[in-house]
Amino acid sequence: MNTTNFAKPDGVSYFGFEIPYLELLGVEPVLCENDRAVTRLRKEPRLVNSRGNVHGGALMSLLDFTLSAAGRSHNPSGVGMATIDMTTTFIEPGATDLVCEARCFRRGSSIAFCEGEIRDTNGKLVAKAMATFKVIPVSPGGD
Protein backbone atom coordinates (compact mmCIF):
# COMPACT_ATOMS: atom_id res chain seq x y z
CA MET A 1 0.00 0.00 0.00
CA ASN A 2 1.28 3.47 -0.86
CA THR A 3 1.20 5.71 2.23
CA THR A 4 2.61 8.83 0.59
CA ASN A 5 0.15 9.42 -2.24
CA PHE A 6 -2.88 10.75 -0.36
CA ALA A 7 -2.32 14.52 -0.76
CA LYS A 8 -4.86 16.45 -2.83
CA PRO A 9 -4.05 19.73 -4.64
CA ASP A 10 -6.81 21.64 -2.83
CA GLY A 11 -6.04 20.50 0.73
CA VAL A 12 -4.71 17.86 3.03
CA SER A 13 -6.06 14.33 2.70
CA TYR A 14 -6.34 12.44 5.95
CA PHE A 15 -5.66 8.97 4.58
CA GLY A 16 -8.41 9.29 2.01
CA PHE A 17 -10.76 11.78 3.69
CA GLU A 18 -11.00 15.56 3.81
CA ILE A 19 -11.42 16.63 7.45
CA PRO A 20 -11.52 20.43 7.84
CA TYR A 21 -11.30 20.27 11.64
CA LEU A 22 -7.96 18.46 11.48
CA GLU A 23 -6.69 21.00 8.93
CA LEU A 24 -7.70 23.75 11.37
CA LEU A 25 -5.66 22.08 14.13
CA GLY A 26 -2.74 21.52 11.77
CA VAL A 27 -2.65 17.72 12.14
CA GLU A 28 -0.16 16.20 9.70
CA PRO A 29 -0.92 12.68 8.41
CA VAL A 30 2.24 10.54 8.18
CA LEU A 31 1.41 6.81 7.94
CA CYS A 32 -1.64 4.58 7.71
CA GLU A 33 -0.97 0.89 7.02
CA ASN A 34 -0.75 -2.56 8.61
CA ASP A 35 -2.96 -1.71 11.61
CA ARG A 36 -0.82 1.36 12.41
CA ALA A 37 -1.19 5.10 12.00
CA VAL A 38 1.17 7.99 12.73
CA THR A 39 0.41 11.72 12.78
CA ARG A 40 2.19 14.88 13.88
CA LEU A 41 1.05 18.08 15.51
CA ARG A 42 3.22 21.17 15.68
CA LYS A 43 2.99 23.23 18.84
CA GLU A 44 1.51 26.53 17.71
CA PRO A 45 0.34 29.53 19.77
CA ARG A 46 -3.29 28.95 18.71
CA LEU A 47 -3.25 25.44 20.26
CA VAL A 48 -1.89 26.19 23.73
CA ASN A 49 -3.61 26.51 27.09
CA SER A 50 -3.03 29.24 29.70
CA ARG A 51 0.24 27.59 30.76
CA GLY A 52 1.65 27.55 27.22
CA ASN A 53 1.31 23.81 26.61
CA VAL A 54 -0.71 22.12 23.87
CA HIS A 55 -4.34 22.11 25.06
CA GLY A 56 -5.75 18.78 26.23
CA GLY A 57 -8.60 19.07 23.73
CA ALA A 58 -6.12 19.24 20.86
CA LEU A 59 -4.31 16.20 22.29
CA MET A 60 -7.59 14.26 22.49
CA SER A 61 -8.49 15.22 18.92
CA LEU A 62 -5.08 14.04 17.73
CA LEU A 63 -5.50 10.73 19.57
CA ASP A 64 -9.08 10.23 18.38
CA PHE A 65 -8.17 10.66 14.72
CA THR A 66 -4.92 8.69 14.83
CA LEU A 67 -6.47 5.74 16.66
CA SER A 68 -9.39 5.72 14.22
CA ALA A 69 -6.94 5.83 11.29
CA ALA A 70 -5.18 2.76 12.69
CA GLY A 71 -8.57 1.08 12.89
CA ARG A 72 -9.28 1.71 9.21
CA SER A 73 -5.69 1.18 7.99
CA HIS A 74 -6.70 -2.06 6.24
CA ASN A 75 -8.99 -0.01 3.93
CA PRO A 76 -8.28 3.71 4.52
CA SER A 77 -10.80 5.22 2.11
CA GLY A 78 -13.32 2.34 2.15
CA VAL A 79 -14.42 2.56 5.78
CA GLY A 80 -15.04 5.32 8.25
CA MET A 81 -14.96 5.18 12.02
CA ALA A 82 -17.28 6.56 14.69
CA THR A 83 -15.91 6.79 18.21
CA ILE A 84 -17.88 4.75 20.70
CA ASP A 85 -15.59 5.21 23.68
CA MET A 86 -12.16 6.71 24.33
CA THR A 87 -10.22 6.77 27.58
CA THR A 88 -7.34 9.21 27.70
CA THR A 89 -4.60 9.60 30.26
CA PHE A 90 -2.51 12.79 30.36
CA ILE A 91 1.00 12.17 31.68
CA GLU A 92 3.16 15.21 30.85
CA PRO A 93 2.47 18.64 29.36
CA GLY A 94 2.72 18.90 25.57
CA ALA A 95 5.54 21.44 25.55
CA THR A 96 6.99 20.70 22.07
CA ASP A 97 5.89 19.43 18.66
CA LEU A 98 4.20 16.06 19.05
CA VAL A 99 4.01 12.67 17.34
CA CYS A 100 1.05 10.34 17.81
CA GLU A 101 1.40 6.62 17.07
CA ALA A 102 -1.52 4.21 17.19
CA ARG A 103 -2.30 0.59 16.47
CA CYS A 104 -5.44 -1.44 15.99
CA PHE A 105 -5.15 -4.56 18.12
CA ARG A 106 -8.55 -6.08 17.24
CA ARG A 107 -10.94 -5.44 14.39
CA GLY A 108 -14.16 -7.21 13.60
CA SER A 109 -16.70 -6.47 10.89
CA SER A 110 -18.37 -3.73 12.92
CA ILE A 111 -16.08 -2.81 15.87
CA ALA A 112 -12.38 -1.92 16.14
CA PHE A 113 -10.26 -1.63 19.28
CA CYS A 114 -7.24 0.67 19.17
CA GLU A 115 -4.59 2.18 21.40
CA GLY A 116 -2.03 4.91 20.97
CA GLU A 117 0.23 7.45 22.53
CA ILE A 118 1.58 10.93 22.01
CA ARG A 119 5.26 11.70 22.55
CA ASP A 120 7.16 14.97 22.46
CA THR A 121 10.31 15.67 20.44
CA ASN A 122 12.43 14.25 23.28
CA GLY A 123 10.51 10.96 23.25
CA LYS A 124 8.73 11.76 26.51
CA LEU A 125 5.26 10.22 26.85
CA VAL A 126 2.68 13.03 26.93
CA ALA A 127 -0.65 11.16 26.70
CA LYS A 128 -2.08 7.77 25.85
CA ALA A 129 -5.51 6.45 24.99
CA MET A 130 -7.57 3.36 24.27
CA ALA A 131 -10.66 3.60 22.09
CA THR A 132 -13.47 1.56 20.60
CA PHE A 133 -14.82 2.50 17.16
CA LYS A 134 -17.85 1.55 15.08
CA VAL A 135 -16.67 0.51 11.60
CA ILE A 136 -18.79 2.26 8.97
CA PRO A 137 -18.56 1.13 5.33
CA VAL A 138 -18.26 4.05 2.91
CA SER A 139 -20.35 3.77 -0.24
CA PRO A 140 -18.66 4.60 -3.56
CA GLY A 141 -20.85 7.72 -3.89
CA GLY A 142 -19.90 8.96 -0.42
CA ASP A 143 -23.35 8.41 1.11
**What letters, b where the CB count within 10 A reaches 16 and e where it falls short, cover 18-42?**
ebeebeebbbebbbbbebbbbbebe
Distance CA 116, CA 138 (A): 24
Is the sign of the CA dihedral 79, 82, 88, 94 positive or negative? positive
Q: What is the pTM of this model?
A: 0.89
Q: Where are the domains of the chain?
A: 20-137
* Cα dihedral value 26, 31, 32, 36, nearest 10: -110
User: What local confidence, expressed as pLDDT, does residue 84 receive?
Assistant: 98
Where are the alpha helices (H) located in 1-143, listed in sequence order?
20-25, 56-71
The pLDDT value given to residue 11: 64
Amino acid at 61: S
pLDDT per residue rounded down to tens, the chain (143 residues): 334 444 444 567 899 899 999 999 999 999 999 999 999 999 999 999 999 999 999 999 999 999 999 999 999 888 999 999 999 999 999 999 999 999 999 999 999 999 999 999 999 999 999 999 999 998 765 54
Please tell me the CATH code under which domain 20-137 is placed. Answer: 3.10.129.10
